[in-house]
Amino acid sequence: MSSADVVVIGAGVIGCSIAFELAKSGLAPVVVDKLPAAGYGSTSSSSAIIRSFYSTRAGSAMAWESTQIWKNWADYTEHADERGAATYRQTGCLLINSRKDEFVEVIRAMMIETGIPFEDWSTDVLADKLPWLDLHLYGPPRLLEDEGFAEPADTLVDGALYFPEAGYVNDPQLAAHNLQCAAEIHGATFRFNAEVKAIRQRNGRVDGVDLADGTIITAPIVVNVGGPHSSYINKLAGVDKDMTVRHRPLRKEVCYVPGPTGVDLEDQGLFIADMDVGGYCRPETGNRLVVGSTEPACDALTWVDDPDDYNTGFSEQWNVQVMRMAMRIPTLGIPGQASGIVALYDASEDWVPIYDRSDLPGYYMACGTSGNQFKNAPVAGALMTALIKACEAGHDHDRQPLQFDLAHTGQSLDLGNFSRRRSIHQSSFSVLG
Q: Which spans of this chain sit near ligand FAD (rule: CB under 6 A)? A: 9-15, 32-35, 40-43, 45-49, 195-196, 225-229, 233, 252, 254, 341, 343-345, 369, 371-375
Minimum distance of ligand FAD from residue 250's CB (angstroms): 9
Contact 85, 201 (CB under 8 A): no
Closest approach of ligand FAD to the CB of residue 384, in Å: 11
Given its phi and psi angles, is residue 39 left (phi above 0), alpha (psi -120 to 50 degrees) or beta?
left
- Of 379, 422, 416, 390, the C-alpha closest to 64 is 379
Tell me how far apart the alpha carbons of residues 19 and 190 are, in angstroms, rounded to a whole number. Answer: 9
Closest CB 396 distance from ligand FAD, rounded Å: 26
Q: Which is nearer to ligand FAD, 135 or 223 (CB)?
A: 223
CB of 81 vs ligand FAD, minimal distance in Å: 17
Residue 70 C-beta: closest distance to ligand FAD, Å: 10
Distance CA 422, CA 418 (A): 7
Spell out the residues 6+ positions from residue 101 whose beta carbon is closer than 8 angstroms to its own.
Answer: 275
Alpha-carbon gap, residue 291 to 253, rounded angstroms: 9
List strand residue ranges (DSSP E) for 259-398, in order. Answer: 271-274, 279-284, 288-293, 302-303, 340-348, 354-356, 363-367
The answer to whether the beta carbons of residues 47 and 168 sit under 8 Å apart is yes
Q: Which of 103, 345 has the CB closer to ligand FAD?
A: 345
Residue closer to ligand FAD, measured from CB, 137 or 413: 413
**Whole-number minimum distance, CB 155 to ligand FAD, in Å?**
30
Closer residue to ligand FAD in complex, CB, 9/277? 9
CB of 419 to ligand FAD, least distance (A): 18
| Of 46 and 142, CB closest to ligand FAD | 46
Residue number, 130 or 377, with CB nearest to ligand FAD:
377
Q: Which is nearer to ligand FAD, 296 or 371 (CB)?
A: 371
Query: Which amino acid type is present at position 131?
Result: P
Residues 6+ apart with CB under 8 A from 359: 239, 242
Q: Which is nearer to ligand FAD, 159 or 249 (CB)?
A: 249
Q: Are 171 and 86 in contact (CB under 8 A)?
A: yes
φ and ψ at residue 309, rounded to 5 degrees: -145, 90
Which residues, in sequence order, are CB contacts of 305 under 8 Å at separation 6+?
Answer: none
* CB of 389 vs ligand FAD, minimal distance in Å: 20
